[in-house]
Amino acid sequence: MRYEFTAEADAILRPVFDKEKVKKGTLRLEPGADRLTLLVGLGEKEKLNSATVREVFFAIPGELCKYEVDKALLEGLEDPALIAAAFEGLWMGNYVFSRYKKDELADKRLKVLAVQEVEGLKERLEESEGLMESADFTRYLVNSRAIDLYPETLAQLAKEELEPLGVEVEILGRDKAEELGLKAFLAVAEGSDKEPQVIVAKYTGAGDAPYGALIGKGLTYDSGGYDIKPGSGMFTMFGDMAGAATVLGAIRAVAASKLEKNVVAVVLACENMVDGSAYKNGDIISSHLGKTIEIESTDAEGRLTLADALSYTEEAFAPSYMVDVATLTGAVVVALGDVAAGAVTNNEELMKDVLAAADQADELIWEFPAYEAYKEQYKSKFADLKNTGGRGAGTITAGLFLGEFVKDTPWVHLDVAGVTYRSDKAKPPYPMGASGFGVHALYRLVKNRE
Ligand code: BES
Ligand code: MN
Ligand code: ZN
């Protein structure tokens, strides 16, 4: 989709704030109009916010497909932030993943949003376009299946997508990972015939200022290992690299907008599989930081790869802050459903910035308490730590486990297991399948942080 500053269009999108006429969230054709005019119920004008606009506009492309509208003119909104939200809502409502199945409606889809120029709108829409193309990239990676998307192809796609935008992408294989001492990561990768990859993407928009670091869980498939998942639970585990896809999408958005910031995205990509060489329950492994870890479940693999990713990133880049994004626990789905991501931190100030950024992006993140007492749950008798924390507070113990591998850098962990993928239907303003959740919030965080 594109936007254009013009009044010429073959249809009109007309916001209606009077709920007697058109109920909030509903769409209605204006009878007898000379041009196709869609009345868009937005509820009370005083209560209007960008989240509502996104959600309501998300439904419009589906409706417009019936009429083969190429270009629609947006009326009645003046605030650039609301117009951008409308554009983003339309974009997401138009999204289909067509790698494996042709989009039958491709030529019936809305192509252009026509808008009237207002102060500051051009910049805001350019930003939206960068964000949406980046979130599409994230969605493409997450939606692609493990037969096609494995560590080497993920690394390759990252390079192809990011380098033209001025992001430097370095890819290291198993030998280099061994040299770097990424022992916990390599233990997880051991059972797979796919070579693990270290992906480091660097965007330097601010000279020699310190980097902000975005770290993504990059399990291109999580079978559970010897703690094998049941088939139903394994089905969507091609998406266990959504954290990686999110941070790669976020750095893409930062580069597309040419922000004057330094950002590094780090992904340790591998598969968690079953094989004679795979790591086993009861194994005690080491890590990049040197702490030993007892494997109580081979299915708690994400925290092992992220532990190494965090300590490696902290050592290699001395970043001013780190945010990791991970489909880490089923427990976060129990706690927050598919509505919000869960967060754990070692630094409330950074957390405040993350929550503020999420708020600007209309993405929901909820902070969990990080009480010391929870740390008891992952103590091991024979190793420094064990990789599970029992039944209670699973998202918190997973988060605190990660924190054991961060020395003193402000850090926030985002558990996105509930929000990155929906198998059977869209959750407005996110499309069905991969949502792209988090790209926008991380972009705002990078932009806002000093
Ligand atoms: N990738 C899963 C978490 C997950 C669950 C993501 C559902 C998306 C949807 C993760 O590796 C995992 O298996 N976690 C275990 C941890 C447990 C063994 C401590 C879990 O949550 O069951
Ligand atoms: Mn797992
Ligand atoms: Zn996993």
Coil/strand/helix, residue 233: helix
Taking the C-alpha atoms of residue 319 and residue 335, their distance in angstroms, rounded to an integer, is 31
**For residue range 295-347, what is the model confidence (pLDDT) as tens digits?**
999 999 999 999 999 999 999 999 999 999 999 999 999 999 999 999 999 99
Q: Which ligand ends up closest to the CA of 391?
A: 1
| Residue 132 identity (one-letter amino acid) | M
Which residue, by CA, sits nearest to atom 9 of ligand 1?
417
Nearest-atom number in ligand 1 for the CA of 297 is 18
CA atoms within 13 A on the CB side of 267: 39
> Quick check: do 2-119 and 144-448 share a fold?
no
Catalytic residue among 229, 280, 375, 449: 229
pLDDT at 450 over 90: no
Q: How far is the CA of 299 from the centre of ligand 2 (A)?
A: 4
Nearest-atom number in ligand 1 for the CA of 302 is 11
Range from 105-109, 151-155, 278-282, 320-324 carrying the lowest mean pLDDT: 105-109
- Cis peptide, bond prior to residue 210, ω within 30 of zero: no
Looking at the chain, the whole-number percentage of residues with pLDDT higher than 90 is 99
Task: Kindly give, in sequence order, each residue whose CB lies less than 8 Å from that of residue 389, ignoring residues fewer than 6 positions away.
Answer: 374, 377, 378, 396, 397, 398, 400, 401
- From residue 201, give the alpha-carbon distance in Å to each of 163, 170, 206, 209, 297: 9, 6, 15, 16, 31
Nearest-atom number in ligand 1 for the CA of 388 is 19
Coil/strand/helix, residue 122: helix
Domain boundaries, the chain: 2-119, 144-448
**For residue range 180-208, what is the model confidence (pLDDT) as tens digits?**
999 999 999 999 999 999 999 999 999 99
Task: Establish whether 14 is a catalytic residue.
Answer: no
Region 165-186 average pLDDT: 98
pLDDT at 8 over 90: yes
Q: Share the mean pLDDT of the chain.
A: 98
pLDDT for 68 equals: 87
Taking the C-alpha atoms of residue 141 and residue 249, their distance in angstroms, rounded to an integer, is 10
| Reported pTM | 0.98
pLDDT at 424 over 90: yes
Kindly report the backbone phi and psi dihedral angles of residue 18, in degrees, each rounded to the nearest multiple of 5, phi listed first.
-90, 110
Taking the C-alpha atoms of residue 35 and residue 312, their distance in angstroms, rounded to an integer, is 59
pLDDT for 391 equals: 92
Task: Establish whether 386 is a catalytic residue.
Answer: no
Strands 341-345 and 411-415: antiparallel
Q: What one-character-per-residue DSSP string does 376-395 give? A: GGG--SSSSEES---STTHH
* CA neighbor of 226 nearest in space, from 172, 278, 170: 278
- From residue 156, give the alpha-carbon distance in Å to each of 21, 88, 160: 52, 28, 6
Region 115-141 average pLDDT: 98
- Ligand 1 lined by 360 (C-beta under 6 Å): no
Looking at the chain, the whole-number percentage of residues with pLDDT higher than 70 is 100
DSSP 177: H
Catalytic residue among 202, 303, 386, 444: 303
Taking the C-alpha atoms of residue 47 and residue 68, their distance in angstroms, rounded to an integer, is 32
pLDDT at 23 over 90: yes
Strands ordered across the beta sheet of 365-367: 168-172, 197-204, 262-272, 212-222, 321-326, 411-415, 341-345, 365-367
List the structure tokens of 305: 């790869």
Per CATH, the number for 144-448 is 3.40.630.10
pLDDT at 160 over 90: yes
| Residue 146 identity (one-letter amino acid) | A
Helix (H) or strand (E) holding 222: strand 212-222
- From residue 215, give the alpha-carbon distance in Å to each of 25, 159, 286, 305: 37, 16, 20, 11
Taking the C-alpha atoms of residue 144 and residue 309, their distance in angstroms, rounded to an integer, is 23
Taking the C-alpha atoms of residue 365 and residue 344, their distance in angstroms, rounded to an integer, is 10
CA atoms within 13 A on the CB side of 342: 27
DSSP 258: T
Place of tokens 């409706």: 63
Hey, which CATH number is domain 2-119, 1.20.58.220, 3.40.220.10, 1.10.3720.10, 3.30.1330.10? Answer: 3.40.220.10
